[in-house]
Amino acid sequence: MAERGRPASPLIVVLSGPGGAGKGTIARMLVEADGSLRLSRSWTSRERRADDPDDDYVFVDRAAFEARRADDGFIEWNEFLGCYYGTPVPDPADDRVLLLEIDVAGGRQVLDRHADALCVFVDAPSDAELYRRLVGRGDGADRAASRISEAARERVEAARIGYRMLVNDDIETAVAEVAAMIAERLAKMPDVG
């Protein structure tokens, strides 16, 4: 049957890729279009910025983060610029597809624990286009250049550990492609009926 079954545990979908490639927009559009998808809310120990939307992160101090980590309460975590970031272990009773917007180092940890996770590396069509988008978002030339070399490193690592690669040159097409990858993966998952 083409009917979508209920997976035995939530399917985890990881979106990674350079800033400016559009993974945040893709995640938002997917969740808006399909109520069976849920965006994971990370914990972070960084200070809240004025432009942070209310529900972007759970803001905690380092001690609270470390306590949850010691309890094995994160499926992955990382330290970035001196601050912790982590994805809380999802509620097993929640059968919605869980979308994570995290870096490739985090995606690698997710795959270690959940080999059936779907990991997608969202890329810009070219470095020149990525540079244009980054500078357009306010990055200086040096910062854009260092993000582009970091993206090159992440791209190689992502391909090596089993990410699906996706070039976002048209947002509607990119969203449809990720939705198709999710449907394909769900169709192969065991059904709890």
Residues that bind ligand 5GP (CB under 6 A): 42, 46, 76, 78, 80, 85-87, 102-103, 106
Instruction: Burial-class residue 14 by CB neighbours within 10 Å (0-12, 13-18, 19+).
Output: buried
Residue 84's closest CA among 99, 98, 70?
A: 70
State which residue has the least CB distance to ligand 5GP.
Answer: 106
Tell me the closest approach of the beta carbon of residue 79 to ligand 5GP, in angstroms: 9
The strand pairing partners of 84, in sequence order, are 79
How many residues are given for the chain? Answer: 193
- Cα–Cα dist 189/6, whole Å: 8
Nearest-approach distance from CB 182 to ligand 5GP, in angstroms: 20
- The residues near 75 (Cβ < 8 Å, ≥ 6 apart) are 12, 87, 88, 89, 90, 109, 110, 113, 114
Shortest Å distance, C-beta 114 to ligand 5GP: 14
Q: Distance between CA atoms of 131 and 127, rounded to whole angstroms? A: 6
Return the number of the residue (74 or 131) whose C-beta is nearest ligand 5GP.
Answer: 74
**Least separation, in Å, of the C-beta of 101 and ligand 5GP?**
6
Q: Which is nearer to ligand 5GP, 7 or 86 (CB)?
A: 86
Min dist. Cβ of residue 87 to ligand 5GP (A):
4
Closer by beta carbon to ligand 5GP, 83 or else 180: 83
